[in-house]
Amino acid sequence: MFTFRTCSLALTLGLAASLSACQSGTVSDRSNVTVERSARAVADYSLGSGDQVKVTVFGQPELSGQFEIDGSGSISLPLIGQISAIGQTTPQLEQAIAERLSDGFLLNPRVSAEVANYRPFFILGEVKSPGEYPYASGLSVVNAVAAAGGYSYRANKRTVYIKAINGEEEEAFQLNSQVLVQPGDTIRIGERIF
């Protein structure tokens, strides 16, 4: 016999299943994005303003040193002057410096470049000490929250919003230790509803 209570129960279960499917689809999609984001963080890092780069020209200690990428996206090297570094990977920067040095300055220069210090990341929202923090390789969102003093009592501990330095909008991710932070990211911890 079909009663109002049976109908109500069926409707409630159907709504719960729909919401669950909708939520799990969102989380699943975000998890895939998280894996891609984690892999890219190490492999395809592009230099940007605020990064400090250690450049070594083998056999030429006076041309070697640590240089900070300025607001215009360049570094100033002895002998060759300003060279654009923004948006380049370290191998690309090595090649650009070697090409400039081989243009009348050195014969077959061998150049090595590595990131000495990454640009900082920013965290705001429901953490105890929002602000700017130094980046460390392999930094996860959970570690970033810990650096900011932990969650506030109103924090939503399930979702984190991240805006990449070159991104136009922030993306939502399931908050776990697998989501990696990239240099220059802005992390936002939202407020829980209940």
Q: What is the pLDDT of residues 141-187, one digit of tens each?
A: 999 999 999 999 999 999 999 999 888 999 999 988 889 999 999 99
Rounded to whole angstroms, the Cα distance separating 102 from 109 reads 6
What CATH number does the domain containing 31 carry?
A: 3.10.560.10
Residue 10 CB neighbours (<10 A): 11
Q: Which two tokens stand for residue 37?
A: 């984001």
Structural domain harbouring 94: 52-117
Residue 36 lies inside a defined structural domain of this protein = yes
Q: Which two tokens stand for residue 64?
A: 């070697």
Residues 182 and 132 in one domain: yes
Residue 2 lies inside a defined structural domain of this protein = no
Write out pLDDT tens, residues 98-110. Answer: 999 999 899 999 9
Is the full-model pTM beyond 0.85? Answer: no
What average pLDDT score do residues 13-28 get?
36
